[in-house]
Every structure is written in C-alpha cells, then in structure tokens.
Amino acid sequence: MATLDVQLTFKTPLNIGSGAQQGTLASLGMLKDQYGWPYVPASTLKGRWRHAAEQLYGTLMADVEVISPHQTQRQRPDDMVSRLFGTHWGAGLIAFTDLVITAPARAVELRQESERNRFRPVTQERTGIAINQQRRVVEDRFLFTTETLWPGIALTFGGKIQAPITQAEAGLLVASLHLIPNMGRAKSRGLGW
C-alpha cells in the first residue's frame, strides 16, 4: 500500500465552483466546506490528474493505447491509467479525497479556529465582463463577479491518498501531478495558477 502526500500550491486565488451557489452574492461563487473554507474536491483533482496521466502515459508508451473512460470497450490489462483511475466498468485503485488548506500556517490556524468558533472567512469578489470574440466588444448583460479568498497569498491544499499501487504506477502519478499547471475556473483571467 503506497501513501502519496499530495500538496497543490496556488500562487493566485483559486475559484472552484459548483452548479449551486451557497452563501454568496457572487455570480461565480466558490465551493466551500461547512465552515466556509474553500477546498479542492476529489472529483476535480481526479479529473485533472487523470487527464495529465493520460497525456504522459500516451507519450511514454506510444505503442499502448490509453482507453478513454467514455469509450465503450472494456479495460485492457496493459492500460495503467484505467487501472489507476477506473472506467465505467470498474473502480480504479485510487480512492481520492478532498484537499483542504494546509499552508500557510496562519491560514490553517484560522481554519481550525473558525471550526471551533463558527465564523466564516472573509472572501473577496472580482468583477469581470464577457467580451464578444467576433465583434471585440463587451457583451450586453454579462457583468459578473467571481468569489476568491485572500488574493496575493499563496495557498496550499493538501491531503493523503492511499492505494495498492506499484512503484511504476506511483512514479506515473507523481510525474503527471507535476503536469497540472492550474485548476478551477477563470484560469484565463489569472485564477488557480
């Protein structure tokens, strides 16, 4: 059983959203836990990580076809990515968990204090507009706000992932994790890098 200590550091504010807006007036609110703190959902982590692993594995093993989870064929035994991440027909070897804030130390202290005292962190809203790419003008009725936490402070989200994997599979996971440059929404506007 291998244990991977996953740490993602974002130098710019992060905004990972969901379909439901909760506790915010921002049109693009961020996903938060029950205490109001942002986190990286396991599903987002798995999707971005799988995509990076497919790219890397496809490059390293050009003669082995990587089976997409959306294809109708069953998993092949030589498809390492499908074994790790799963397909429609079977679970993968890795059980992903949500990543929570692990650094800087003051952010971790505030998070623990907010759990005890039931206060929520103060978020900020960034205002944006949508540009019509063909006409190169502002779209009518497309003023929006994006919720972020503490611009200017690099936040690290972390967690542990355990899986019964080989050393080669662990190597693929570690290498592909380094290929993920950003996460969340509004990446073209500088969020989640």
Q: What is the pLDDT of residues 82-102, one digit of tens each?
A: 999 998 888 899 999 999 999
Are the CB atoms for 147 and 26 separated by under 8 Å?
A: yes
Task: State the DSSP code for 58.
Answer: H
Residue 170 lies in a domain: yes
Residue 17 lies in a domain: yes
Report pLDDT for 19: 63
At residue 142, what are phi and psi to the nearest 5 degrees? -125, 45
Residue 70 lies in a domain: yes
Looking at the 3D structure of the chain, how many domains does it have?
1
Residue 134 lies in a domain: no
Highest mean pLDDT among 15-29, 94-108, 110-124, 139-153: 94-108
Return the SS3 of 138.
strand
Residue 144 lies in a domain: no
* Residue entry with tokens 């050009």: 62
Residue 143 lies in a domain: no
Domain that holds residue 80: 2-119+152-189
Its pTM stands at 0.81
Residue 115 lies in a domain: yes
pLDDT band at 187 (very low <50, low <70, confident <90, very high): confident
Query: How many helical (H) and strand (E) elements, i.e. helices and strands, does the chain have?
Result: 4, 5
Residue 46 lies in a domain: yes
